[in-house]
Amino acid sequence: MDTFSRTLGGSGIEVSALGFGCWAIGGEWQDLDGQPLGWGRVDDEESVRAVRRALDLGVTFFDTADAYGTGHSERVLARALGKHRDDVVIATKWGNVFDERTKTLTGSDDSPEHARRALTASLARLGTDRVDLYQLHIADADPERAAELRDTCEEFVREGLVRAYAWSTDDPARARVFAEGAHCAAVQHRCNVLQDAPELLTLCEELGLASINRSPLAMGLLGGGYGTGRRAPAPGDIRSAPPAWLPGFGAGGGADPEWTARVDALRSVLTSGGRTPAQGALAWLWARSPRTVPIPGFRTVAQAEENAGALALGPLSAGELAQAEAILGRT
């Protein structure tokens, strides 16, 4: 596996070393209490242009979920890809239950029956006959139930509906449950320079899995947009009313000063070689492990160009990686 491409586990599926996460382009949605779960309003036309620009710049991996925008992200991605569907690798997720009409997350369903219903619906929204990587989206699902779902995914593979599968979880023990399946190719988990995941990265190395990194820019904190005097997220953005599982943001969506201080301390390392802070954060992930595939979010063509531009600059050097670790006190 070189700097510019990765293989998803033992699946033989090759992807660009950078994927694009499609949570943000799903637009606004919420839970039953009105808590925003999206990233605010989006312009679908701009989203389509951004996906197509990413394709032009060599990005071949797009990660979405049925719940993002309660189906809207999958629909927008399908429209943007159009005739290029066979040129890319599509990952989506299942496990959440939602109401498309009200754009509301209503719960979750860990039954094998729901997995099949959800897959059928995702295939329709994506306008395709198979999902390249199908991922369980219930991070804390019961491991015994997850073993059933792993077997269900093997059925999907045999039927040609899915090429490989994974679990989106930050728990190494749970990830191991799915990894027992012959066609498990990856683990999707949180990882960035501020929130390292050594146990999961070791697991991926041990088991030959791809490490798909969500929150590679720490929900925007590593993108250079949350320094002193920066505007807080708008209403409808999950960061404007951060839930307990979203660290780094205070009430009203402002950046936590301790997190901002760490970002500032890292700035000179991350911007080495002419990189932007976001490109440096992606470069840190590539230097951290040869199995990492970061999937930063995007909403605009400019963001797509900046993120994709990291591919040409490659990973941080071993010295720069060590310098970043020293700054964070992890050596």
DSSP string over 85-96: GGGSEEEEEE-E
Task: Give the residue from 288, 309, 243 showing the smallest Cα distance to 30.
Answer: 243
Where do the domains of the chain lie, and which CATH numbers do they carry? 5-327 (3.20.20.100)
The one-letter amino acid code at 36 reads P
* Structure confidence at residue 246 (pLDDT): 85
* Structure confidence at residue 241 (pLDDT): 82
Per-residue pLDDT of the chain (331 residues; tens, 9 = 90+): 344 899 999 999 999 999 999 999 999 999 999 999 999 999 999 999 999 999 999 999 999 999 999 999 999 999 999 999 999 999 999 999 999 999 999 999 999 999 999 999 999 999 999 999 999 999 999 999 999 999 999 999 999 999 999 999 999 999 999 999 999 999 999 999 999 999 999 999 999 999 999 999 999 999 876 554 455 678 888 888 888 888 888 776 678 899 999 999 999 999 999 999 999 999 999 999 999 999 999 999 999 999 999 999 999 999 999 999 999 999 7
- Calpha distance 76→15 (Å, rounded): 21
The one-letter amino acid code at 298 reads F
- Calpha distance 235→213 (Å, rounded): 26
- First-last CA distance in the chain: 27
- Name the pTM for this structure: 0.96
